[in-house]
Amino acid sequence: MLESPWIALNNQITLHKDDDSLNVEKDKDAVRSYFVNHVNPNMMVFPTLADKIHYFVDKDYYVDFFEMYSESDLVSVFESAYARKFRFGSYMSAYKFYHDYALKTDDGSQYLERYEDRIASCALYLAQGSVDSAHLFVNVMISQEYQPATPTFLNAGRKRAGELVSCFMDEIDDSLQAISRAQEYAAYLSSIGGGVAFNLSKLRARGEPIKGIEDRSSGVLPVMKMFENVFSYANQLGQRPGAGAAYLNIFHWDIEEFLDSKKVNADEAIRIKTLSLGVVVPSKFMELCASGNDLLIFSPYTVFKEYGIYLDEMNMDEMYDTLAANPKVKKRTIQGRQLLVKIAQTQKESGYPYMIFIDNANAQHPLAGIGKIKFSNLCTEIMQLSEVSHIQYGDPIKIKRGISCNLGSLNIATVMDNKSLENAVSVATIMLTAVTNMTNIEHAPSIQKANEELHSIGLGAMNLHGYLAKNHIMYESDQARDFANVFFMMMNYYSIKASMAVAKSFGKSFKDFHKSDYASGKYFLKYTQHNIEPEYDNVAKLFQGMNIPTRNDWETLAQQVKQHGLYHAYRLTIAPNQSTSYVMNATASVMPITSVIETREYGNSQTYYPMPFLDDSTFFYYKSAYDMDQNKVMKLMSVIQQHVDQGISTILHIKGETDTRSIAKYFIVAHKLGLKSLYYTRTKKSQIDDCIGCEA
Residues serving a catalytic function are 377, 379, 381
Q: How far apart are CA 198 and CA 276, in angstroms?
A: 10
- What distances in angstroms separate CA 444 from CA 177, 186, 434, 448, 531, one per listed residue? 15, 9, 20, 6, 44
8 Å CB contact between 554 and 493: yes
268 burial class (0-12, 13-18, 19+ CB within 10 angstroms)? exposed
Q: Which candidate, 440, 441, 436, places its Cα nearest to that of 458?
A: 436
Q: Give the DSSP per-residue string, 612-627.
A: TT-STTTGGG---GGG
Q: Where are the alpha helices (DSSP H) in 213-282?
A: 221-233, 255-260
Q: How far apart are CA 188 and CA 182, in angstroms?
A: 10
What is the three-class DSSP state of 662? helix
What is the three-class DSSP state of 197? strand
In DSSP terms, 280 is beta-bridged to: 249, 356
8 Å CB contact between 138 and 115: no
282's torsion region: left (phi>0), alpha (psi -120 to 50) or beta?
Answer: beta
Instruction: Tell me the CB-side half-sphere exposure of residue 343, using CA atoms within 13 A.
Output: 30
Q: How far apart are CA 496 and CA 489, in angstroms?
A: 11
Q: How far apart are CA 241 and CA 275, in angstroms?
A: 12
What is the three-class DSSP state of 373? strand
Q: What is the DSSP letter of 3?
A: P
Q: How far apart are CA 487 and CA 480, in angstroms?
A: 10
- State which amino acid sits at residue 16: H
**φ, ψ dihedrals at 533, nearest 5°:** -145, 160
Q: Which candidate, 601, 648, 653, places its Cα nearest to that of 623?
A: 653
Q: Which candidate, 257, 254, 258, places its Cα nearest to that of 246?
A: 258
In this structure, the strands spanning 652-654 and 331-335 are: unpaired
What is the three-class DSSP state of 648? strand
- State which amino acid sits at residue 572: L
Q: Give the DSSP per-residue string, 411-475.
A: EHHHHHHTT-HHHHHHHHHHHHHHHHHH---TTSHHHHHHHHHH--EEEEEE-HHHHHHHTT--T
In this structure, the strands spanning 457-462 and 331-335 are: unpaired
399 burial class (0-12, 13-18, 19+ CB within 10 angstroms)? middle
Q: How far apart are CA 474 and CA 618, in angstroms?
A: 10
Q: How far apart are CA 143 and CA 83, in angstroms?
A: 11
